Amino acid sequence: MVNALLPLDNFVVINKTILNSQDRLTLTLLYQPIVGSIAVSLYLTLWSFLDRNKFNSLGNTHNDLAISMQLKLDDIKEAKDKLEAIGLIKTYLKKGEVNSYIYELYGPLSAYEFFNNPILDTALYNNLNKKEYKRIVDSFSLPKVDLKGYQDISCSFKDVYNFVSTEKTGNNNIKRAKHLDLSFEPNINFNEVLSLIPEELLNIRSISKDTKELIYELAFIYDLGNDAISEIIKNSLVDRKIDINLLKENCRSFYKFEHKGKIPKIVYQNQPQYLRQSQVNSTKRSKLINQFETTSPYEFLSLKQDSKPTEKDMEIIEYLMIEQKLNPGVVNVLLDYVLKINNNKLVRKFVEQIAVQWKRSKIETVSDAIDFARSEYDKKNNKPKTNKKIEAIPSWFNQDIESDMLSDEELEAFEKELER
């Protein structure tokens, strides 16, 4: 992957769909709560580079784009990643002295397709309150018209038109609306799931391709394994067939029961690409930074304790990433730091105090997080650096906490642990 967009990198926008005013409404009401206003603004800006009835734009530089949007290229890169992940654009790169990009624009799903896509529908629901979600659904719903007493008197095609013999030329290259499917790695084995359900309960032949895809999506959204999703399917059967609506409802109920009424939210799984170190070398520090950057907080805690994070651990991760909006790599460093100085214990209030300080200090990269943690540790242990003024010790260091410095040997051991 490319680390960053450069000002002189050029790009061309290719229109792969049919865009209209309804798409603008869909982007604003349905997609924006998920990807954010900057990402939607980027999509609309790329759209504006297309002249009317043109399928592709003229060449532009990313500096032109940054000036037009009054944004930093790092912000544009993050917005572009969000658009790619949700299926609105596709990016192609040709490397050279000046890199060349092609951005293919794909249309947003229709409201009907969006609300019937469990991943997108769940993401929208979880990023809004119930009242706002219902208001948006209602705005796309058809009004109910009472046709009682009316008679359908519409003409049929053959009532008005007739065919005559003529020569026909086909053309399969006509422009049409095109969408991208969401790309994700399934976390269940479908054949194993079916093997856990007795044949007398489920007619396997009744499972369509769409139903199979829905099961994959629901397992992904609610982080369900083979055993869990198979039990949910058993409870969603009607006449040996899977009731789609019941399946969705049971998946949500199961998740809420397991997580004390909470519903899943979407967050960046790993450190954003533009905030990672530009190059990875053979030094211990570089390798450690790379591990923090390329490991999700969930995976990190799993490796640290050789078991899945507890429910309380997940609540702490959710707080750090969603409420404090710390980047995943920074969250990993913070968790590792707290475990080191607090005898391998994650105490919510203690973590919150540190997180607030790191947020105020605007720590965004793993490198800065490591330096900041070591600096704070030195203050705690009264190790002033030469010719530098000692700052006041943070309030959370006054607590009686068993300290354990991260030595080079421990760094090497931790690196081996992550590799394993």
Domain end position, chosen among 207, 224, 258: 258
Residue 183 lies in a domain: no
> Structural domain tally of the chain?
3
Both 248 and 324 in a single domain? no
> Are residue 405 and residue 281 in the same domain, yes or no?
yes
Q: What is the mean pLDDT of the chain?
A: 81
Sign of CA dihedral 130, 133, 139, 143: negative
Domain that holds residue 287: 273-419
Q: Is the pLDDT of residue 390 over 50?
A: no
Assigned domain for 371 exists = yes
Q: Are residues 225 and 299 in the same domain?
A: no
Q: For 328-352, how does the pLDDT look when each residue is reduced to its tens digit (9 = 90+)?
A: 889 999 999 999 888 888 888 899 9
Question: Does one domain contain both 236 and 287?
Answer: no
Q: Name which of 160-169, 219-228, 285-294 the model is least confident about.
A: 160-169
CB 125 within 8 A of CB 222: no
Is 236 domain-assigned? Answer: yes
- 267 part of a folded domain: no
Q: Which stretch, 36-45, 284-293, 399-408, has highest mean pLDDT? A: 36-45
Half-sphere exposure of 70 (CA within 13 A, CB side): 0
- Domain-embedded: residue 359: yes
Q: What is the mean pLDDT of residues 204-220?
A: 87
Residue 359 makes CB contacts below 8 A (sequence gap 6+) with 324, 325, 326
In a domain, 211, yes or no: yes
Q: How far apart are CA 39 and CA 195, in angstroms?
A: 42
**What's the pLDDT tens digit per position in 66-79?**
998 998 888 898 89
